[in-house]
């Protein structure tokens, strides 16, 4: 077990994060399931352990510097030094610009951008020590612009610049940094968006699928598969890339 690499997935209690945690565990990683509510991550840990893997639930606010440092230290002590980081934690506070509050702007930028910065800064020392590492940041097709999401779009576009810069800085240490940008994925977050705009979720999904070239909406596993590729040994010459997983072309 001493040769098992440890991965951290943030926002891993549900949706894309939970599916990614399960996939990385199946790939042979010990997985730290980080989420704002530690107890919410425990069912995912139980699933991984039942399947024969090793996992740990850790509660952390990724926008809190001290909490991040403490969480990463706990993962290193209890699971092993983390050399894979998936920055997935995210929230939405959608509103049109003229109605958007400073709190709605700040909370979204804090979780997505500040959180990814703090987590990456805390984990990179373990990667550099190991001379090997993988960081995958979750962007979004919203980075290309999406009505009512000035905060979310700015954060997700910011993550792409962050990804490319870290790829340049960390490459000489054997660390690759890439981003996955999902399109419409069936999660609690998209269900909440449908509810917010007053549309039945079945109708919302059908309308979305009709606009996608492959004629279906995405599932969390579609994103977990892309993350699995980026963190694998075979992707060692792929860095600073943004992969749109959206059922069709995006630019």
Residues with a catalytic annotation lie at 152
Q: Which residues contact 42 (CB under 8 A, 6 or more apart)?
A: 57
DSSP string over 92-116: ---B-TTT--HHHHHHHHIIIIIHH
Calculate the dihedral angle through the C-alpha atoms of 113, 66, 188, 104, rounding to the nearest 10 degrees: -50
Q: Are 153 and 143 in contact (CB under 8 A)?
A: yes
Lookup result for tokens 């999660």: 187
Indicate the pairing of strand 6-10 with strand 30-35. Answer: parallel
Which two structure tokens, joined as six digits, stand for 230? 């980026």
> What's the CA gap between 69 and 37, in Å, rounded?
17
Tally of residues, the chain: 251
Burial 16-38 (b: 16+ CB within 10 A, else e): bbbbbbbbbbebebbbbbbbbeb
Q: What is the phi/psi pair of residue 56, to 5°?
A: -150, 130
């Amino acid at each position: 077990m001493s040769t098992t690499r440890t991965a951290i997935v943030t926002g891993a209690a549900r949706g894309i994060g939970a599916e990614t945690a399960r996939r990385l565990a199946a790939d042979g990683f010990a997985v730290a399931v980080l989420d704002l509510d530690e107890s919410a991550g425990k069912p995912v840990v139980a699933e991984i352990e039942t399947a024969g893997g090793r996992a740990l639930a850790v509660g952390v606010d990724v926008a809190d510097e001290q909490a991040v440092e403490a969480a990463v230290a706990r993962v290193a002590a209890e699971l092993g030094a983390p050399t894979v980081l998936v920055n997935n934690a995210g929230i939405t506070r959608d509103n049109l610009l003229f109605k958007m509050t400073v709190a709605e702007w700040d909370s979204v930028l804090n979780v997505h951008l500040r959180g990814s910065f703090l987590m990456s800064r805390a984990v990179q020392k373990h990667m550099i020590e190991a001379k090997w590492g993988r960081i995958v940041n979750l962007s979004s097709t919203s980075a290309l612009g999406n009505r009512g999401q000035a905060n979310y779009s700015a954060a997700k576009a910011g993550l792409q610049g962050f990804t490319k810069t870290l790829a340049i800085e960390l490459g000489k240490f054997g660390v690759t940094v890439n981003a996955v940008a999902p399109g419409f994925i069936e999660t609690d977050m998209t269900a909440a968006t449908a509810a917010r705009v007053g549309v039945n979720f079945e109708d919302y999904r059908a309308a979305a699928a009709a606009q996608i070239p492959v004629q279906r909406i995405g599932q969390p596993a579609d994103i977990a598969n892309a993350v699995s590729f980026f963190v694998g040994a075979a992707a060692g010459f792929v860095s600073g890339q943004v992969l749109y997983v959206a059922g069709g072309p995006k630019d």
